[in-house]
Chains A and B, each alone.
Chain A
Amino acid sequence: MQNGELQGNVKTRIRIIIISAAALAFGASIFTVSSAPNQLSLFSRAISPSIETPDDATAPSVRGSTFSHSTRAHREGKYASCESCHAIPTRNWATARKDPYPDVKNYPYHPSCFGCHAKDVYSNGGAFCGTCHTEASMRARGGAGVLPFPIKSHAMQFTTIFPHDLHQNLIASDTTRNDVALGHFMLASFAINATPTPTPAAAPAPVFYNCAICHKTITQMPKYVPRKITGEKSLADATADTFTALSKTGADFFKDGPDSHASCFTCHYQRVKPAAYDCAGCHRLTEPYFEKKAIERYSLKFSHSTTNHVNKDCTTCHVRITQNSDISKMKDADVPFQTCSTSSCHGSNIEEETKKREASSAAKQPAFQCSYCHTTAVGRYDIPPSHRKY
């Protein structure tokens, strides 16, 4: 067996046995169905009759609240290993998606919790069951009775670890072709909608494989907002924005990014570390947070799809992405102003707008709001130093 090789269901079964054994070693006093409270009768039909409980002293008390990965008992000892709860693939993988692939599409199963939480299981009318089931009671059922995993309304507890630098060394360095068709690295399920937005360019756009396996042009208008400017002076109140035909914000202005394992497991499922079962290799515990639902932009007039943008390699503009080792350190899409302002591209635009701004302030008139790349939400601020180097 190669390192990290998964044995599918076999492995899962072994895992569950280990957990029960460990729970026993925990000093559990085994009780049987008959000694349990009344409401257990329903429950006992559903799951195996012998449930282990830990010492009363360490037994937690829970009232159907949200599971936290930061709770000490949930991350110490053998639970430091994510695998102790999360099975990969989960039994439902083949039916959980339209274009299925082996994935984590379900909660940990009962033995991962019931050992420590035996008391909670029977208390409060089975509120604990509501952690994972639609029915927060002993009447909880399997199948459709299990909540969709993960629960989207819950705060995220992890950030993703993905080093662009290493992966570019790996994917980008060899090829001199840009026109490789997508497909094999990516599952069909990962592609959003069937009909791609036609680009203004007549010829089909080149595909920059080294990025496009994970970032694609968006085909349905996403939510978007101008990025909040901090640390600079706003020189005027926002006014109504004007757009040209080319700068009118459209879906194909934007790129998406991975929101599933599809673009990772093609390489990492087994053998290539971190392998799929090593959740912590790609997920870093953090303060719970809610993901921003809208794409933030400095330039809402920038389109990835216009003729003179779509024909550039992604790294022509994203000049620092190949040295980024930690996406959590990226404050924005990191397209330094210099990459737009080189004289052949937008040098004249920034020169012109700078002059207009300076003229307006010299004439003590309301500040000129830069509108070539920006909407007024950004264009009414002081000119940042980066914009002075063109």
Chain B
Amino acid sequence: MYILRLALLIASLASIGPLCVRAQGLGALDVQAKTVKINGKSILVRKRLYLFKGGLKDNKELIGRLRTAEVKSRDCFYTQMKASPQYICWLQAENCESPFCRTVATADIPRVPEFQAAYNAGLTKFRGLKSVADDWILTNMPAPLVSGFFENRRALTTSLLGSLKPVQSTMTDSVTIKAIFIDIPVTLPAGKKTETFLVSNIQPLEFGNKSYVWACEVEIGTEKKSSPLNLVTPDANKPQKNCEVIIRDLQVCKTESCKAT
């Protein structure tokens, strides 16, 4: 594998030409996100982070798009898709964006009209096999309620990125709550030991009635050790100089409140 990487490196070196030979190498970045907490809970768990070349200034246009993005809240999305209040509450109970994030328990079926209808349809379609009707409940639900929100957010991400191509993207894990980028192609500017990159979640993260986007600058070198970046909870009194955190109020659409389950 590393032979391939080496070949790539040589190829990219060759393309720069003999006049400006800049140091090239591979860097790594550890993004620590455990410290980002709201109401005492780490919220950047299993979230996708993107890595871009250049710092905040170089990516002004992207930041502009992130600031003005039109973000539809989950509840508003599902309300507009005519989801039942029971379904919206079922999603909310586990802070889920879509039904893919939790199992539909057998006990949930009679409680949520969409599940009951899908189960009944499944029984007819799957020769009365209860196990299949139950396990495949999502295949008999209206598509907008299943993958609609995912598609909405995917479209939002695509429009926010515009023509910008991330260098890499990865997700934070749920135990160490870190995102690790490795084999980042780094081109060191003359006289510098690091190159500036930008890390952002791009897709606004919904929590409470607000949405959050981080965009943080980080210096990445080609030394042995990974470069670290700590994402922190936004604090109006302590703005971070290398980070822009965009917090916006979301429109509230929920009509009924959910009972705790």
Interface residues of A (CB under 8 A from B): 2-3, 6, 8, 94, 99-102, 165, 168-178, 180-181, 183-188, 208, 210, 231, 265-272, 311-316, 319-320, 322-323, 331-332, 336, 338-339, 384-386, 388-390
Please, which residue of chain B has its CB at the minimum distance from the CB of A315?
B173
B257 at interface by CB-CB < 8 Å: no
B126–A102 touching, CB < 8 Å: yes
A313–B173 touching, CB < 8 Å: yes
A173–B129 touching, CB < 8 Å: no
A266–B136 touching, CB < 8 Å: yes
Choose among B131, B169, B171, B182 the residue that contacts A338 (Cβ–Cβ < 8 A).
Answer: B182
CB contact list, B140-172 vs A, under 8 A: 140-143, 146-147, 150, 154, 168-171
A266–B28 touching, CB < 8 Å: no
**B258 to A: closest C-beta gap in Å:** 16
Report A-chain residues with C-beta under 8 Å of the C-beta of B178: 316
- A94-B129, A322-B169 given; name 10 further pairs at CB < 8 Å: A8-B125, A168-B48, A169-B48, A170-B147, A173-B101, A176-B174, A184-B103, A184-B134, A313-B176, A323-B170
- Chain B: residues with Cβ within 8 Å of the partner, total of 56
B102–A175 touching, CB < 8 Å: yes
Interface residues of B (CB under 8 A from A): 1-3, 28, 41-42, 45-48, 94-98, 100-105, 125-127, 129, 131-132, 134-143, 146-147, 150, 154, 168-171, 173-176, 178, 180, 182-183, 224-226
Choose among A2, A178, A188, A311 the residue that contacts B142 (Cβ–Cβ < 8 A).
Answer: A2
Report A-chain residues with C-beta under 8 Å of the C-beta of B95: 174-176
Report B-chain residues with C-beta under 8 Å of the C-beta of A331: 1
Report A-chain residues with C-beta under 8 Å of the C-beta of B131: 99, 187-188
**Given known contacts A331-B1, A386-B2, is B96 in contact with A174 (CB within 8 Å)?**
yes
B138–A180 touching, CB < 8 Å: no
Report B-chain residues with C-beta under 8 Å of the C-beta of A338: 28, 180, 182, 226
**Given known contacts A100-B129, A176-B95, A316-B173, is B143 in contact with A271 (CB within 8 Å)?**
yes
24 sample A-B contacts, Cβ–Cβ < 8 Å, listed by A number: A172-B46, A172-B171, A174-B95, A174-B96, A181-B103, A183-B103, A184-B103, A185-B135, A187-B132, A266-B135, A266-B136, A267-B139, A271-B143, A272-B143, A311-B175, A313-B175, A315-B173, A316-B173, A322-B170, A323-B170, A338-B226, A389-B28, A389-B224, A389-B225
Choose among A3, A169, A231, A272 the residue that contacts B146 (Cβ–Cβ < 8 A).
Answer: A272
Q: Which of A168, A177, A315, A336 has the largest count of B CB atoms less than 10 A from its CB?
A: A315
**Given known contacts A184-B103, A323-B169, is B176 in contact with A173 (CB within 8 Å)?**
no
B154–A169 touching, CB < 8 Å: yes
B180–A319 touching, CB < 8 Å: yes
Choose among A175, A181, A271, A384 the residue that contacts B96 (Cβ–Cβ < 8 A).
Answer: A175
A265–B171 touching, CB < 8 Å: no
A265–B136 touching, CB < 8 Å: yes
**Given known contacts A313-B175, A315-B173, A316-B176, is B101 in contact with A171 (CB within 8 Å)?**
yes
Report B-chain residues with C-beta under 8 Å of the C-beta of A6: 125
Distance in angstroms between the alpha carbons of A8 and B175 in the assembled complex: 43
**B168 to A: closest C-beta gap in Å:** 6
Report A-chain residues with C-beta under 8 Å of the C-beta of B100: 170-171, 174, 267
Report A-chain residues with C-beta under 8 Å of the C-beta of B42: 176
**A97 to B: closest C-beta gap in Å:** 11
**Given known contacts A169-B150, A176-B174, A338-B226, is B139 in contact with A3 (CB within 8 Å)?**
no
Report B-chain residues with C-beta under 8 Å of the C-beta of A385: 2
**B39 to A: closest C-beta gap in Å:** 12
A180–B143 touching, CB < 8 Å: no
**B106 to A: closest C-beta gap in Å:** 8
Distance in angstroms between the alpha carbons of A267 and B28 in the assembled complex: 36
A316–B175 touching, CB < 8 Å: yes
A267–B138 touching, CB < 8 Å: yes
Report A-chain residues with C-beta under 8 Å of the C-beta of B104: 184
Distance in angstroms between the alpha carbons of A270 and B139 in the assembled complex: 6
Distance in angstroms between the alpha carbons of A314 and B94 in the assembled complex: 21
Distance in angstroms between the alpha carbons of A148 and B128 in the assembled complex: 26
A175–B46 touching, CB < 8 Å: yes
A339–B180 touching, CB < 8 Å: yes
**A17 to B: closest C-beta gap in Å:** 22
**A227 to B: closest C-beta gap in Å:** 11
**A203 to B: closest C-beta gap in Å:** 15
Please, which residue of chain B has its CB at the minimum distance from the CB of A173?
B46
Please, which residue of chain A has its CB at the minimum distance from the CB of B223?
A389
Choose among A2, A102, A175, A323 the residue that contacts B168 (Cβ–Cβ < 8 A).
Answer: A323
Choose among A102, A177, A267 the residue that contacts B94 (Cβ–Cβ < 8 A).
Answer: A177
Choose among A165, A171, A336 the residue that contacts B182 (Cβ–Cβ < 8 A).
Answer: A336
Report B-chain residues with C-beta under 8 Å of the C-beta of A168: 46, 48, 171
Please, which residue of chain A has its CB at the minimum distance from the CB of B177?
A313
**Given known contacts A169-B150, A313-B173, is B98 in contact with A174 (CB within 8 Å)?**
yes
Report A-chain residues with C-beta under 8 Å of the C-beta of B101: 171, 173-175
Please, which residue of chain A has its CB at the minimum distance from the CB of B2?
A385
Report B-chain residues with C-beta under 8 Å of the C-beta of A336: 182-183
A319–B135 touching, CB < 8 Å: no
B146–A185 touching, CB < 8 Å: no
Report B-chain residues with C-beta under 8 Å of the C-beta of A100: 129, 132
A384–B169 touching, CB < 8 Å: no
